[in-house]
Amino acid sequence: MENRQLTDKKAVITGASSGLGFAMAQALAQAGATVLITARSRSSLDDALSRLGALSGRVQARVLDVRDEESIAATVEWVRTQWGSLDLLVNNAGIGMRTVNPDFMTSPQPFYEVSATGFRDLLDTNLTGYFLVAKAFAPLFVAQGHGKIVNISMNHDTMRRKGFIPYGPSRAGAESLSLIMAEDLREHHIDVNMLLPGGATETGMIPEEQRAALAGRVDLLPPDIMARPIVFLASDASTGITGQRIVATEFEQWLTEQAVTQ
């Protein structure tokens, strides 16, 4: 059901034409936020807007490559010009293990067989991309004296799993990046948190043929598992919460613990 608890909130989500990014954009728009979705493909963004239906009136789209500083700067300038301010940045854009090993779920590949090019390409998107986008938007947040950044991560088990280089290291690095960002921005009243689904999800990160092979062995989470926590993190109720690692499947428990400790 649609609600308007995020009316007047403005959010930017990278990698939002499908998967987790799309689910979060949909949830934020349903809660009344104005959302800018970004991705590298114009056609995929157009398809996303079409799938949003009536909600597309609250959602705008821009082509953005998180590896390209000029592309990022142009998006920051668009936000400054069109909106004047920003409440939430969600770093979500990423590429998965399928880019270095299409059979990664059923036939893990040892790290020494991963190409240097494949390693660099994935790190450039999943880790350096988070850094470049946050670096570009941070001055806007600092100048306005508030803001929220959410960096999407994954389970710690995956960071240690056989055959998960370079994806595991990319997300481990993003978690360290997030914690340091939270400390660097704390004095400016900007909150930085991590959010992860809590398990493998039904997204393009897992090829269709791999999903078939996993049928009955792994229960894939729906992307909308991210809906409730991202709406909370965009809301005023989360202001002041920073440096947290939030697992979507455990969100209700985490929320209860926050109420006890604050």
For the chain, domains (ranges, CATH) are: 10-261 (3.40.50.720)
Laid out side by side, the sheet with 34-39 consists of 59-63, 34-39, 10-13, 88-91, 147-152, 190-196, 245-247
Higher pLDDT, 2 or 131: 131
pLDDT reported for residue 208: 55
For 104, the enclosing helix (H) or strand (E) is none
Q: How far apart are CA 123 and CA 35, in angstroms?
A: 26
CA angle 38, 196, 165 (to 5 degrees): 85
pLDDT reported for residue 207: 52
Q: Average pLDDT over the chain, rounded to whole?
A: 92
Q: Name the band, by pLDDT with cuts 50, 70 and 90, for residue 163.
A: very high
Average pLDDT, integer, range 167-175 = 96
pLDDT tops 70 at residue 225: yes
Q: How far apart are CA 166 and CA 32, in angstroms?
A: 37
Contacts of 29 (CB under 8 A, 6+ apart): 35, 52, 55, 58, 59
Structure tokens that stand for 206 in this block = 């897992």
pLDDT reported for residue 247: 98
Owner of token pair 């909308």: 224
